[in-house]
Structure 1
């Protein structure tokens, strides 16, 4: 009886400025949706040092994800790491992203910053939830890509297209 060869994990890094909202959503949503197929990280170009409490609350209550171990950290922690994918979630991070070793696929999936929302507590939570939903849909599309069947150029194009829609 032949044993199944383990599938390679795709090492993925999500970047944003503060690593406090969008990139944390993306990291934990891909961990859940991607299962064992991905090794997922997030970082910030100028980390805030804290994860926004609404991110943790929305992940827990709306997606049943315990992100209590999430932390805001610098992308510099990952210098020298060879990623398969580096995905920026805000324009500032896109402009500041360094060259990564190993020639990863670099894509940009811009989402608005929910922290900039004004209004009452319900309005602000709704803004965070909408950003989480947008990132969740993109993560679902990403996970659904037939990685094993696409050559590098087609995989790069498909990854880019996710952020364009």
Structure 2
């Protein structure tokens, strides 16, 4: 019996290289700039950039310009794409190896403590706080704060959470990150490139990560005009939250 020749799935071709796998593993924990990856991996910038380009072309990694320094770019893992391609690789080998792309929910009885930080605490970090609480419930102790908090929540942040997820944060008010100086968190996540540069330390917390997510209100347009940007931002944050849950489980 002669077996038909099958092409190696693209995920396997891309991820099998040791350096590319190392980069994927690094980006699974947060977003990084090339120069940071060079330092952490110990390889040349040209080599890192070459393999990142292959991962981008293959749909596993994406990049966006830093809002702190427009000359820099943050790279991040396209989690849904990785999940779909990994599931496809299993199915290509054997139908019984089709993987469930839905990450497991928190199983620990000890609540994980998480802090989300952006500049104004009126959109991105507030949305992340609401969505993590929505998905994890009492199994997580979550807060958000800003390095320069706005007077109130952005109307579109309230609107998108209510309309897309059934969550009401209309009574919530932005808080300054300094008011949480005495708190300790298992994980601190910055969602703003500018906030990342000035976010204070919180002692010996278990983990730190950065999600480079552009400010959906940055254009300054009318609320109705920029609402689609808030929808896209909330969807991206929701994806990251869903994949954050098993990581919180693993650290407890």
TM bin, normalised by shorter chain, reads: 0.7 to 0.9
Tell me the secondary structure at the aligned position of residue 143 of structure 2: strand
Larger Rg: 2
Q: Do residues 29 (structure 1) and 118 (structure 2) align? A: no
- Counterpart in 1 of 2:160? 58
When residues 82 and 59 of structure 1 are mapped into structure 2, their CA distance, relative to the original with a 3 A threshold, is same
**What is the CA-CA distance between 1:61 and the residue it aligns to?**
1.1
| CA offsets 1:34-87 (integer angstroms, 9 cap, x no match) | 112110100000111210011111111110001122211100111011100100
* 2:156–2:223 contact (8 Å) kept in structure 1: no
- Structure 2 unpaired stretches of 5+: 1-107
CA distance in 2, matches of 1:128, 1:30: 17
> What TM-score, normalized by structure 1, do the two folds share?
0.81
Question: Which of 68, 92, 101 does residue 194 from structure 2 map onto?
Answer: 92
CA distance in 2, matches of 1:105, 1:57: 31
When residues 119 and 51 of structure 1 are mapped into structure 2, their CA distance, relative to the original with a 3 A threshold, is closer
Tell me the secondary structure at the aligned position of residue 214 of structure 2: coil
**1:1-165 correspondence to structure 2 within 5 Å:** 7-117=109-219, 121-145=223-247, 147=249, 150=250
Moved more, 35-44 or 138-147: 138-147
Tell me the secondary structure at the aligned position of residue 36 of structure 1: helix
CA distance in 2, matches of 1:142, 1:53: 26
- Counterpart in 2 of 1:3? none
> What TM-score, normalized by structure 2, do the two folds share?
0.54
RMSD across aligned C-alpha pairs, in angstroms? 1.9
**What is the CA-CA distance between 1:140 and the residue it aligns to?**
0.7
CA distance in 2, matches of 1:128, 1:120: 12
**What is the CA-CA distance between 1:103 and the residue it aligns to?**
2.4
CA distance in 2, matches of 1:134, 1:18: 19
When residues 146 and 120 of structure 1 are mapped into structure 2, their CA distance, relative to the original with a 3 A threshold, is closer
Aligned residues: 145
* 1:26–1:135 contact (8 Å) kept in structure 2: yes
When residues 102 and 46 of structure 1 are mapped into structure 2, their CA distance, relative to the original with a 3 A threshold, is same
- Structure 1 unpaired stretches of 5+: 1-5, 156-165
**What is the CA-CA distance between 1:121 and the residue it aligns to?**
4.8
Tell me the secondary structure at the aligned position of residue 217 of structure 2: helix
**What is the CA-CA distance between 1:117 and the residue it aligns to?**
3.0
